[in-house]
Amino acid sequence: MIWRALYTLAWYLALPLAFLYLWRRGRKQPDYRLHWAERLGRYPARPAGPLIWLHAVSVGETRAAAPLVQALRARHPGHHILLTQMTPTGRDTARQLFGDSVTVAYLPYDLPFAVRGFLRHFRPEFGVLMEMEIWPNLLHGAAAAQMPLYLLNARLSEKSLRGYRKVAKLVSPALTTLAGIAAQGEDDAARLRALAPVQPRCTGNIKFDLSLDPELLALGQQWRRQFGTRPVWAAACTREGEESLLLDALARAALPADALLVLVPRHPQRFDEVAALLAQRGLRVLRRSAWDGQMPVAPEVQVLLGDSLGELAAYYAAVDLAFVGGSLLPLGCHSVIEPCAQGVPVLIGPSSYNFADAVREASALGALLQRQDADAVLVEVARLLADPTARQGMGEQGRAFVAQHRGAVARALALLP
């Protein structure tokens, strides 16, 4: 109890800083300044009828939750789905995916009064946390309210385990309150057992059960026709600092003179920043926001800047191969599963701890190449753009890799009411 009391005190002391952070983030992304009452457990009217709650912290988790939402609707057709996030981009993604068919809200900060307000307002029959969302007051509050709470698609890297062990007296009791835990892989399950006396089931990664939106695939194919016969590669989900590394390497690489780069930053608040970086490099840029997708891309355009939301699948559908960001810097990599599912050859940098199992298996199958720096990545981009047979082989292996791992949603559902 003393550890949780100290943790709660730290939250109260940090609360003004939390709202200051939201205000400052709002300079670039105004949506951070909205819905502050929800952060404190105050919400608009609750939807009528029984309710199931699913928490997906941001964009990646929300997309991964889509097949689970569909499965829960099929199992509980009379229930309403509440989907919570922590970020505006996650909230926007939920709206794009589900429209008004679900209730979207922010999860409150992990303060006892805010947690009680959230649980009393929505009264979920049960709740699901995606990936590794461990909020001690929330977990204990759910247990006190006798609301079963499950952790699905849980992953725990060795680095994260070392961090959690420093506060094990806080985290371990919270984990034991959960009604069930589904881990992505055996390594994740073993680390969870090392952290707390729990017995996770290994159900696989729900992200493999993604369903590709046919409208987005058709949109990407339409874009591809507007690119003409040029070789096209993507740098997708790039993070701050990675664009500079890639552009430096691109200037040294021996790519075809007419090659087109489709550059898609991970975070929308960085779109203008990346556009300015491209302008500083003297590159000829077309922004997606200024292009209707109906007209051919001029031959002199060197970079299509993907400054749009919800179109990642279309960008993948429009290119010959893709580099996945968050991997050149020590950020653990973003999902390699979606491009593999589309049969797109995948390149990444050295950091991949967020998808360690997927990267290892996709690499072994030949669907993915991992290289140590941006120059080595660009060497492979040049080689693959010149070798359609190699690209086809990697793409076929990528589809096979994803197909082999489907079924995680069904296995995870076995844990739920």
Q: How far apart are CA 134 and CA 136, in angstroms?
A: 6
DSSP one-letter string for 304-363 = EE---SS-HHHHHHT-SEEEESSTTTTS----SHHHHHTT--EEE-S--GGGHHHHHHHH
Orientation angle between helical segments 186-195 and 158-165, nearest 10 degrees: 10
Q: How far apart are CA 374 and CA 383, in angstroms?
A: 14
61 is catalytic: yes
Count CB neighbours of 189 within 10 A. Answer: 22
Count CB neighbours of 185 within 10 A. Answer: 19
Q: Is 74 exposed, middle or buried (0-12, 13-18, 19+ CB in 10 A)?
A: exposed
Q: Parallel, antiparallel, or unpaired for β 80-85 and 51-55?
A: parallel
Q: How far apart are CA 106 and CA 55, in angstroms?
A: 9
Set 61, 133, 242, 311: catalytic member: 61
Write out the two tokens for 111. 């303060």
Write out the two tokens for 352. 């991949």
Just list the catalytic residues: 61
